[in-house]
Amino acid sequence: MSEKDPIRVYAIHLFDEDADYSRLFEYLESRDRFFYINTAKPENMPDSGGPDAIKEELRKQINAAEIAVVPVTTYERNKELAGFQLETATAFKKPVLGISSFGGTVMMTKDFMDQCNDVVEWNDRVITDAIKKLARNEDTAQWEVIEFDPTDL
């Protein structure tokens, strides 16, 4: 992944930019040297054509991505529409990254977890590392460094 070859990320949405949708991209933007393109277009709600037009629009957005990311709260808000997007991502052989609810307020069901290749917490480093691993099979192998004063031992 580089600035010239960004990861194409699709955030599962319900044709609105809810708090978790916005938070996801705030987290991605906060990471240095993490380059991505957002293939999700919540503003592209078809004006006509009904459910078939909606599904076709979502298929185009998902097909352009390398990975689909879904916050559990989005899934819980509309299981039918979010479920369609999860099934479509799986059919297109796109890995799916689930994100637990912010603050742990929504329980993740077995059905939700079974549809995800990995589920992570709201942490910018953890999310970007999981995206790199699932989308490009890049293992970041980052370690947390804890500094301590040896005289405290």
pLDDT of res. 15: 94
Q: What is the pLDDT of residue 144?
A: 61
According to DSSP, the β-strands at 7-11 and 67-71 are parallel
CA 20 – CA 74 distance, rounded (Å)? 8
pLDDT of residue 103: 73
- The pLDDT score that the predictor gives to residue 66 is 97
pLDDT for residue 125: 93
Scored b (16 or more CB within 10 A) or e, 94-131 reads bbbbbbbbeeeebebeeebeebbbebbebeeeebbbbb
Give per-10-residue mean pLDDT for the chain (153 aa): 87 92 94 93 91 95 97 93 96 96 78 93 94 88 69 74
CA distance 15 to 61: 12
- What is the pLDDT, as a whole number, of residue 65? 97
DSSP H helical segments within the chain, as ranges?
A: 19-30, 50-63, 72-77, 79-91, 110-114, 124-136
Give the per-residue pLDDT at 141. 61
Please give the structure tokens belonging to residue 43: 């503003």
Domains in the chain, ordered, with CATH?
7-152 (3.40.50.9200)
Please tell me the total number of residues recorded for the chain in this structure. 153
CB atoms within 10 A of CB 73: 19
